[in-house]
Amino acid sequence: MNEKKSPKIALITGGSRGLGKDMALKIAQRGNNIIITYNSKKAEAEDVIRQLKELGVEAEALQLNTGNISGLNAFAVTLSEMLGKTFNAERIDYLVNNAGTSLDATALADVTEQQLDNLLSVNFKGVFFLTQRLLPLLNDGGGIVNISSGLARFTVPGSGAYASLKSAIETLTRYQAKEFGSRGIRCNFVAPGAVATDFSGGHLRDNPQVQEFVKSVTALQRIATPDDIGGVVAFLCSDDAKWVTAQRIEASGGMFL
């Protein structure tokens, strides 16, 4: 008689809304327990936790500013304590580095050092060092999913600083796959195209002119929603993807082919 396996645990940063929220819900639908982080939207995070629990899984939220590198050690301690108390576990199985910030519609000639430092802290250093801090809390045979962007492949003027750091994430992920592979940890990255969320102040979601442009350069000729991305991440956070590592999966509907 086969023993019932304990649910696996996924940690999704920036899981209180947008893409991160849908990732959390899709991963939970596969029977995994969930931990999400939020920066400032506690009420939104609590609503996501309610939705996750309605799916029949255990779920918790933790506050985290991924750009505050000095706070990552304390976060790892808090996470470890939560794992034992709430999930009766010592480690997570999946880490999804989704939290990020943007700097759209800013030409390279106009980007300030402060703006670039902020992007660097959240979009690259936060991913680099959070993953480093959580390695002792990640089960062998688990998985890491980093979120890149279609902008790392194609160019849209005004997105150069943001896209450059996403390109760095893609290189980092390949090195993670190589260095963590001896532990059976798979590392992949998903590159969404333009998605209608509140990211970048809702620039796409609230601008019909921008929407029409995006449709005109997209093979599937529509605007993406978070539901188009979450399932891809959920696949990578499953045994269905047990032989997939160091891969770039672009979920853009075929932008700029």
**Catalytic site positions:** 162
193-221 burial code (b ≥16 CB/10 A, e <16): bbbbbebbeebbbeeeeebeebeebbeee
Output the CA torsion sign for 248, 63, 139, 236. Answer: negative
Tokens coding 217: 């350069």
Q: How many CB atoms are located within 10 Å of the residue 123 CB?
A: 27
CA distances from 138 to 38, 93, 95 (A): 20, 6, 8
Whether the CB-CB separation of 255 and 198 falls below 8 Å is answered with no
* 48 sits in which H/E element: helix 42-54
230, 23 in Cβ contact below 8 A? yes
